[in-house]
């Protein structure tokens, strides 16, 4: 069976609406380095972008500052450059934001999510219809 032809330009321009109650997660394993990029790291980058602080971003993700910092260091090694910038505290209060590289990582990851959703939408919908309404959750939802 041939894969459907995708409109890559449209898929990367627009966020497609999610399939109700169904999510698609993308994890990329970069070989041979063994590095990975997945939803947790992307959520952390999004939180840093929104919160302007690693500490507040970590708290918003229910993770320790140390874990957040280690993930950021891992990302910076994976992509061979800084994904965040940090300004020390003091009179101005400091802060953290995403570098151009960090913003590019988000952009490309979200474009990949959209392309995958376009390509797999029919199969995801078919699988979602097969799920029992009273099926127990696989894991507790994050709040």
Q: Is residue 18 part of a domain?
A: no
Q: In this structure, is residue 56 part of a structural domain?
A: yes
In total, how many domains does the chain have?
1
What domain range is 42 assigned to?
38-123
pLDDT of res. 132: 84
Name the more confident of 25 and 135: 25
DSSP per-residue codes, 20-67 = TT------EEETTTTEEE-HHHHHHHHHHHHHSSHHHHHHHTT--HHH
Tell me the pLDDT tens digit for each residue of 4-16.
455 545 555 555 5
Looking at residue 52, which CATH number applies to its domain?
1.10.10.10
């Amino acid at each position: 069976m041939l894969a459907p032809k995708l409109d890559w330009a449209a898929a990367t321009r627009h966020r497609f609406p999610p399939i109700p109650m169904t999510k698609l997660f993308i994890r990329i394993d970069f070989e041979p380095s063994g590095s990975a990029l997945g939803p947790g790291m992307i959520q952390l980058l999004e939180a840093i972008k929104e919160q302007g602080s690693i500490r507040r971003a970590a708290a918003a993700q229910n993770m320790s500052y140390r874990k957040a910092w280690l993930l950021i260091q891992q990302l910076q090694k994976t992509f061979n450059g800084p994904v965040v910038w940090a300004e020390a505290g003091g009179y101005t209060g400091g802060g953290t934001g995403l570098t151009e590289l960090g913003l590019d990582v988000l952009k490309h990851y979200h474009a990949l999510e959209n392309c995958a959703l376009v390509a797999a939408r029919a199969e995801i919908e078919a699988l979602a219809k097969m799920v029992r309404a009273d099926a127990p959750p696989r894991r507790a939802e994050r709040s």
